[in-house]
Amino acid sequence: MNGLGWALADSWTIARRTLTHWRMQPGLVIFQWFFPVLMLLMFGGLLGGAMEPPGSSYYELLVPGIFALAMLFGLEGTMTAVTTDVSKGVTDRFRSLPMSSAAVVLGRCIADMLDSAVTLAVLVGTGLVLGWRWHEGLPSALAAFGLLLLLRFALLWVGIFIGLTVKNAQSVTMVQVLVWPIGFLSSAFVATSTMPAWLGTIAQWNPLSATATASRALFGNPDPSATATWIGTNAAVAALIAPLLLVAIFLPLSAHRFRTLSR
Partner 1 sequence: MATERVIEAVGVRKHYQGGTEGAGLNGFDLEVTAGTVTGLLGPNGAGKTTAVRILSTLLEMDSGTATIAGYDVRRQGAEVRRRIGLVGQYAAVDEILTGRQNLVMFARLNHLGNAKGRADELLERFGLTEAAGQAVSKYSGGMRRRLDLAASLIVAPRVLFVDEPTTGLDPAARIEVWSAVRQLVAGGTTVLLTTQYLEEADQLADRISMLKAGKVVAEGTPDELKTRLGSDWLDLVLADPAEIPQVVELAAALADGEVRVQDVRVSVPVKDRTKALVQLANSLHEAKIEPEDITLRRPTLDEVFLHLTGAAA
What are the residues whose beta carbons fall under 8 Å from the beta carbon of 258, sequence distance 6 or more?
101, 104, 105, 164
Nearer to partner 1, 32 or 57 (CB): 32
Task: For residue 170, state whether it binds partner 1 (rule: CB under 8 A).
Answer: no
* CA–CA gap between residue 4 and residue 12 (Å, rounded): 12
Q: Residues 69, 99, 123, 212: which binds partner 1 (CB under 8 A)?
A: 99
Q: Tell me: does residue 27 bind partner 1 (CB under 8 A).
A: no
Site for partner 1 (CB under 8 A): which residue of 31, 88, 128, 137? Answer: 88
Give the whole-angstrom CA distance, residue 38 versus residue 45: 10
Assess contact for 119 and 152: CB atoms under 8 A.
no
> Footprint of partner 1 on residues 55-84 (CB under 8 A)?
none
- Using CB under 8 A, which of the segments 19-27, 123-131, 202-210, 248-256 binds partner 1? 19-27
Segment contacting partner 1 by CB under 8 A, of 7-15, 34-42, 188-196, 211-219: 7-15
Could you say whether residue 6 binds partner 1 (CB under 8 A)?
Answer: yes
Query: CB under 8 A: which stretch of 50-58, 90-98, 119-127, 138-146 binds partner 1?
Result: 90-98
Q: Figure out which of the listed residues 26, 42, 47, 93 binds partner 1, where binding follows CB under 8 A.
A: 93
16 near partner 1, rule: CB under 8 A: yes
Count Cβ atoms below 10 Å from residue 125 Cβ, excluding itself.
11
Helices (H), the chain: 3-24, 26-41, 48-51, 58-88, 90-95, 102-130, 138-166, 169-184, 197-205, 207-219, 230-233, 235-259
Minimum distance of partner 1 from residue 217's CB (angstroms): 41
- In the complex, the smallest distance separating the C-beta of residue 85 from partner 1, rounded to whole angstroms, is 9
Task: Kindly give, in sequence order, each residue whose CB lies less than 8 Å from that of residue 178, ignoring residues fewer than 6 positions away.
Answer: none
- CB nearer to partner 1: pick between 101 and 193: 101
Say whether residue 92 binds partner 1 (CB under 8 A).
yes
CA angle 45, 143, 123 (to 5 degrees): 25
